[in-house]
Amino acid sequence: MQLITGVLFDVVCQIQEAKLLNAANLLEQSITAYWNNQLTEITEDDLQILLLQNVKAVIAIGDKVIHFYDHTTECIGELMCILAALPESERNQMLNTPLGLLSKIATDKGQDRYSLLYAEAKKLLAAYPTIEHALNGAANGHSVKDNKVCASMYSKCPYEPEELLENINDLGDITKLFSKNALGNVIADALEYNYTQVGMTQTHSRKKRSCFKEALDVSCESLGATCGLMTVGCAVCTFFSFGTCIAICGTVIAGSCGTVIAGCGIAEIVC
């Protein structure tokens, strides 16, 4: 199943890249026509709302991926709750990241220049139960403003708030991700073991291969669900002026998430 999910992520990445490019081209053409008075009864916001519908395929796949990984732990709900519970200054710093944007969509009160688009995006995302669950987590966190309360609300998740935030912070750096927590140890060992089986040179010296099946399962579920939610956030992000968000998406979705899913698959087979 891990292999199938890995293929799903490859498909998501390809669809996402194509749709972002097509959407950007269409938006540029439409705005040009608008300013040339060829379109007189449609605004730029209207165009963006129409184009937002183009990402439905990516969102639908992302919703299924999140559900596959997160249906027993609810870590995605806790993660979004924690992000929204951060102090406003920290939340604002995360706005041009995929999950920060989703948090803003879930908690916007109609006073932002993008509020119309936020409302349309929220309406679109709420049609997918697993994503709606994540948005509700953000709304809860924005209300309670306490990550300990978030942890108690989503008690099925085995991670502490600090661990969830650490995984998010390290998601763009695969070296850090593989080196400091249970997931890192298990996957790194599995990858090293796999290299020896196919005659590749090991990148690190290891005295023995460890295999903590429970740690592997929980960690892969948490990061797999996070990658699914990042994919959704990246798909939506193209309709807002957050260039940094798009840059992060390229690094995380095409790079780290693919490596994590592949590593989980290898570790599962080895264990």
Better-scored residue on pLDDT, 214 or 226: 226
The mean predicted confidence, pLDDT, of the chain is 77
How is residue 216 written in tokens?
Answer: 């592997």
CA separation (Å) from 200 to 191, 195, 204, 213, 255? 10, 5, 12, 24, 21
Cα 187 from Cα 220, distance rounded (Å): 9
The span from the CA of 14 to the CA of 4, in Å, is 15
262 domain residue, yes or no: no
What does each C-alpha distance from 101 to 171, 225, 270 come to in angstroms? Answer: 16, 17, 37
Nearest to 225 by CA among 251, 256, 257, 247: 257
Q: How many domains does the chain have?
A: 1
Instruction: For 97, list phi and psi in degrees, rounded to 5.
Output: -120, 155
Q: Which domain covers residue 171, as residue numbers?
A: 7-35+71-197
Tens of pLDDT, residue by residue over 67-100, are 999 988 889 999 999 999 999 888 888 888 899 9
Q: Which residues contact 43 (CB under 8 A, 6 or more apart)?
A: 34
Residue 144 lies in a domain: yes
Is the pTM higher than 0.85? The answer reads no
Q: Judge whether 18 lies within some domain.
A: yes
Q: Is there a domain that residue 19 lies in?
A: yes
Whether 231 is covered by a domain: the verdict is no
**CA 92 from chain center: how many Å?**
18
Q: What is the pLDDT of residues 116-133, one digit of tens each?
A: 889 999 999 999 999 999
> In the numeric block, which tokens belong to residue 44?
């730029």
For residue 16, pLDDT over 50 is answered with no
Residues 231, 232, 237, 238, CA torsion sign: positive
